[in-house]
Structure 1
Amino acid sequence: MEELIELLPVDSVPFADNLWVYQVFSVIFISLVLAYVGKIVLDRLEKKAHSTNNVWDDALVTAARKPLWVLIWSMGLLWAAQITAVQMDDGLASVLDKGQSVLLIILLAWFLLRLSGEVEVRIVDRRYRKKPVDLTTANAIGKLLRISVIITAGLVVLQNMGYSVSGVLAFGGVGGIAVGFAARDLLANFFGGLMVFLDRPFAVGDWVRSPEKDIEGTVEHIGWRLTRIRTFDQRPIYVPNAVFANIVIQNPSRMHHRRIFEHIGIRYDDIQQMEPIVKAVRTMIDEHEDIAQDQTKMIYFDRCAPSSVDFFIYAFTKTKVWSEFHRVKEDVLLKVLKIVDDHDAQVAFPTSTLHVPQGLRLRGDESGGEESDAPEGQRA
């Protein structure tokens, strides 16, 4: 082989004394080819992955695309830089070796972070899972995994650069105590967020409210420090997570049914129609297709009010959707009013009766009567 190289006309080649230049350009060219081939392979894999509903193949291909492209080019450039450094400075070559190791760790961590994000998006999507994972749970697990990857990658990088990991951990333990005292509120919010993720009193998209605080709206985001709630007039509320440990939270989104509870009053003059009206309303509720028949239903004569005799309607709708509930409630009330009208009764409204004693005359009427009885000559 060496004899063959000696026979080649090396002297006629440009830069014959610096063959490492050709090596550098060869490495860059190979990197270009590998990047192009990698793109073609990933495009075909992605096309095949999209034809299935598997979570992992889509996530792996999508997560690997950018890190793989950076890996090919960065490794090629570092390799070319190492070839150049050997010709110039041995110290620079050792630095590039460490830089290559650090870069590999960073790219691996980047790939794992992207993978966790892609999987998190897909496990809550019904196209990939028949029973999707709860969004709040997926977010919590994803955040914990990403924090673990970042911390682990940071420790490995420090160890690779020659720092003592045990010393860093010891310093972190002592420093953690000082930080804990200085950032009590921040830690309280962090653990409050952790309790929200574990106990799951609400999830993203739920309608929540607190009778103790002026908090009511739809949960948009649950973070480690703050939870963002959008009120019904579209104002965002940012609630520190520590607050949820000390207040009562209602979650109407998790109710199974919505309740109809209304009083209807008729006149005292129609008291004889109370029993047939109540029976007719009871029948109507039993036959209504939007009323939950497996829940409590009560329609009874309830009280004698100052201006009416009242009966109440207590039932639950099948739907729990706010707008649909109001449609059902409107239909029920209209049918109740029709039943009242069909029984020749009337809905009562507040009235007052003034009893005037017999023979009482007003002062104006009395003076007017005296003027009419006086002779014409004596009238003013």
Structure 2
Amino acid sequence: MEQIHFVPLLLSEIEQYLRGLIEASPRIIAALVLILMTWVLAKLLGSLVTRLARRARLRRNLTEVLVMLTGLLVWLVGLLVAITLVFPTVTPAKALTTLGLGSLALGLAFRDVFENFLAGLLILWREPFKIGDHIAVEEKDVEGLVELITVRDSHIRRTDGQRIVVPNALLFQNPVIVRTDRDVRRTSIIVGIAYGEDVDVARSVIEDAVRCVDSVRDDVRDIQVFAQAFSESSIDFEVTWWTGSKPVDIRSSRDQVVAAIKRALDEHGIEIPFPYRTLVFKPAAPMTLAPARPEDDD
């Protein structure tokens, strides 16, 4: 008996659902058409943003982010309107309130993710550094070549070949040294000469030797050679010059400059001293023989 009463009840429920679906079919069709129009509008606006970004010469990653944000905004508005069409009792204000509460909960749960996302947007927009720059965050022991910048993290390739994936919040909240912001960078070494050598002659020899090195950019800034200090076994000169800003440029130029200075000092007979150590020993105490004791004679 229960099965006999259950079947008509089930058929009645299905009939009500079908009747409601038929009554709501115009609204559902309108919502589907609106979603299709939203998709088309998102594509058109994305293409428009891409063209405007190219004219403004924005970097590719920033252009992709702007296209993504534009699409999200269009889809948000389109879906809200579609929901109100299908469910007339749900107003846009109620939908936005529900969405706002959900966004707040998501923001608290994924605070670090959104923090890195916003930092990535600001980095892409302000462009404090770009792909191909050599940067360093000394407080976090991060240094290398920027290979990729996304809205969440940046990929840094160290000089030893290892890749570091750095959250954008770290790069945004800490001082970042952009070593390749300019094409040239200053570097320096310390050169010591013996105390018996003429300081002015040695300075001139060192300066001429550095000026003849191809990697030295004396067209940007002049070479500087200053007597710096009295060391233990030498008078030290600080030699400063400008060369390429990449780490390999610095190492290569320093190698050439050291070799040129050594060769020039040797040719002019100027001594490059090495530390001297003088060992002084106290005079030995005189040795006296103790008198023999009587019992030793026995």
Correspondences of 1:84-95 after superposition (within 5 Å): 94=26
Kept in 2, the 8 Å contact 1:286–1:293? The answer is: no
Residue of structure 1 aligned with 2:238, choices 287, 312, 328: 312
Corresponding position of 2:168: 241
2:260 corresponds in structure 1 to 335
Checking the alignment, whether the CA contact within 8 Å between 1:208 and 1:217 is kept in structure 2 is: yes
Q: Take 2:207 and 2:117, find their aligned partners in 1: how far apart are those partners?
A: 53
Which amino acid in 2 is paired with 1:297?
I
Alignment of structure 1 residues 258-297 onto 2, 5 Å: 258-268=185-195, 271-286=196-211, 290-295=216-221, 297=223
**Larger strand percent:** 2
- 150 and 250 in structure 1: CA distance in 2 versus 1, 3 angstrom threshold: farther
Residue correspondence of structure 1 range 115-130 to structure 2 within 5 A: 115=47, 119=51, 123=54
SS in 1 for 2:180: helix
Q: How many residues align?
A: 264
Letter in 1 for 2:268: H
Answer yes or no: is the 8 Å Cα contact 1:116–1:145 preserved in 2. no
1:186 aligns with 2:118: no
Query: Structure 2: which 5+ residue stretches go unaligned?
Result: 1-21, 287-298
Q: 2:73 aligns with which of 141, 148, 161?
A: 148
The match for 1:105 is: 37
Aligned equivalents of 1:108, 1:262: Cα separation in 2: 63
Tell me if structure 2 keeps the 8 A contact 1:297–1:314: yes
Structure 2 residue identity aligned to 1:279: S
Secondary structure of 2:192's counterpart equals: strand
Confirm or deny: 8 A CA contact 2:31 2:82 kept in the other structure.
no
CA 1:205–1:151: 2 relative to 1, 3 Å:
farther
Residues 1:325 and 2:257 aligned together: no
Query: Do the aligned partners of 1:285 and 1:291 also contact (CA within 8 Å) in 2?
Result: no
* Higher relative contact order structure (alpha carbons within 8 Å, sequence separation ≥ 6): 2
CA–CA distance in structure 1, aligned partners of residues 180 and 61 of structure 2: 15
Which residue is equivalent to 1:217?
144
Asked if 1 retains the 8 angstrom alpha-carbon contact of 2:46 and 2:70, the reply is no
Change (3 A) 1:279 1:340: same
Question: Cα gap change, 1:219/1:146 in structure 2, threshold over 3 Å: closer, same or farther?
Answer: farther
Deviation at residue 299 of structure 1 after TM alignment = 0.6
Work out whether residues 102 and 160 of structure 1, in 8 Å CA contact, stay in contact via their aligned partners in 2: no
The 2-side partners of 1:200 and 1:132 are apart by 12
Q: CA deviation at 1:352?
A: 1.6
> What's the secondary structure of 1:253's corresponding residue?
coil
Contact 2:193 2:270 in 1 (8 A): yes
Work out the CA distance in 2 between the residues paired with 1:140 and 1:114.
Answer: 10
Shift of 1:279: 1.0
Structure 1 residues 158, 223: CA separation in 2 closer, same or farther (over 3 Å shift)? farther
Q: Are 2:234 and 1:302 aligned?
A: no
- What does the per-residue CA deviation read over 1:137-166, in whole Å, with 9 as the maximum and x for residues that have no partner? 434433333333332343344345455333
1:239–1:167 CA distance, 2 compared to 1 (3 A) = same
CA RMSD of aligned residues (A): 3.8
Structure 2 distance, partners of 1:111, 1:339, is: 67
Where do 5+ consecutive residues of structure 1 fail to align? 1-89, 124-128, 364-380
C-alpha separation in 1, matches of 2:32 and 2:64: 33
